[in-house]
Amino acid sequence: MAAPTNAELALDHAMIDCFARDLSRLIETEAPPAKLAEALSRLAKTVADHLDREDATIYDLAMRATPGMAAGSVERVQREFETLKDNWGRYLRVWTATEIAEDRDGFVRATRAMLPRLRDRVRLEGELLVAISLQQGGARSGEAA
């Protein structure tokens, strides 16, 4: 499988952010548990598809976006990502459609805690993509001179 392009990753990020906002909005309404489960499922599938494509790419992006980044900083970013990925997986295993129906208030609390972390990560990755795109554009402009 070819590495995803920056544009493909950016589109993934936009979709994740959109679906996360949808779920955030729904938990603040009286939406029935089935609708919450459907929104979570859509977000979970989008995140899973994205991770399948991005996992190996994002660390390379981090190194290229910040030349000279200390190895410890890259390792910290990787650990934070792995922690979030693990927490996300646990969140999804706990909050099945049945569990959401049985404990809507618990789901709302857990979702309020999880979604800002997910959206912050997507924002960070988006910033890395922008930095890479600017560097690539600058390198192309510089080559022409």
Band (67; pLDDT cuts 50, 70, 90):
low
Domains in the chain and their CATH numbers?
6-144 (1.20.120)
At position 30, the amino acid (one-letter code) is E
At position 50, the amino acid (one-letter code) is H
Alpha carbon dihedral 106, 80, 43, 100, in 10-degree steps, equals -10
- Mapped onto helix, strand or coil, the DSSP state of residue 145 is coil
- Mapped onto helix, strand or coil, the DSSP state of residue 31 is coil
CA proximity to 98, closest of 37, 12, 13, 15: 37
Q: Considering the chain, what is the average pLDDT of its residues?
A: 84
Percent of the chain with pLDDT over 70: 79
Whether this prediction's pTM lies above 0.85 is answered by: no
Q: What is the DSSP letter of 103?
A: -
CA distances from 75 to 24, 50, 61 (A): 31, 21, 13
